Amino acid sequence: MRILEGEGVTKYFGGLAAVSNVDFHIDQGEIVGLIGPNGAGKTTLFNLISAALVPKPGAIRFKGEKITGLKPYQICRLGVARTFQEVKVFGNMPVLENVLLGSLFGTSTGMSSADAAREATGLLEFVGLSAVRATPAKDLTLANQKRLEVARALATKPELLLLDELMAGLNPTETAEAMELVTRIRDKGITIVMIEHVMKAIMSVCDRIIVLHHGEKIAEGTPQEIATSRTVIEVYLGE
């Protein structure tokens, strides 16, 4: 079943097409990688899906329903959550309270404070942050701030999770741990689209990869197909 579809998705900034006539689909249960050079339009596409931006023209559908024109909080409450390329945590708030915000305000179903706290505690354990639950978010390492963003996104009970460069800036050990976290999230039944420049991660965990270049989709296929695509090698992967 297709959980997300885009048709002719386009976004101009002035005279520049950041995303140009992109068709895409995401099947339920997939991990899909979104790759391309810097400035290819990857984060802009995430912004269009999550309603931070509105496509003009183009349409985006979630579970068959058109979501173009909805507000970001409405998209979130429908079941689409995201993280950000530059980590956005509430730095002066403790780790647990950052996740509580997702539980209390990111879903359409009301939840008691006790239930939210119980759920947030479980999510911190899931992402490996139980030991720092009382620490201000600004005092976490970059890797742990990224895990906190994931936990906060998961607190909104998404069916689709958009991960924007989860592994950027991480060392090899942290990257391996992040890859393992991504697969465990999918094991929970959550579909994932991930923007990533760490090709080892993309090739290892993704079922399918979409490649953007200058705002246009230039390739799509399995990791093996993308790794051997002459077009992709020339514009992105290199010889």
The pLDDT value recorded for residue 105 is 78
pLDDT digits 0-9 by tens, 168-190:
999 999 999 999 999 999 999 99
pLDDT band at 161 (very low <50, low <70, confident <90, very high): very high
Cα-Cα-Cα-Cα dihedral of 29, 127, 172, 46, to 10°?
Answer: 50
DSSP 136: B
Say yes or no to pLDDT of 239 above 60.
no
The pLDDT value recorded for residue 46 is 96
Say yes or no to pLDDT of 238 above 70.
no
Amino acid code (one letter) for 147: R
Q: How many distinct helices (H) and strands (E) make up the chain?
A: 9, 10
At a CB cut-off of 8 Å and minimum separation 6, what does 104 contact? Answer: 111, 113, 116
The pLDDT value recorded for residue 67 is 94
Say yes or no to pLDDT of 202 above 80.
yes
> What whole-number distance in Å separates Cα of residue 90 and Cα of residue 79?
22
Q: In the CATH hierarchy, which top-level class contains the domain 80-157?
A: mainly alpha
pLDDT, averaged across the chain: 92
DSSP 3-state assignment of 215? coil
* Contact indicator for 222, 201 with CB cutoff of 8 Å: no
pLDDT digits 0-9 by tens, 65-92:
999 989 999 999 999 999 998 999 999 9
Give phi and psi for 69, each to the nearest 5.
95, -10
Q: Report pTM.
A: 0.93
pLDDT band at 104 (very low <50, low <70, confident <90, very high): confident
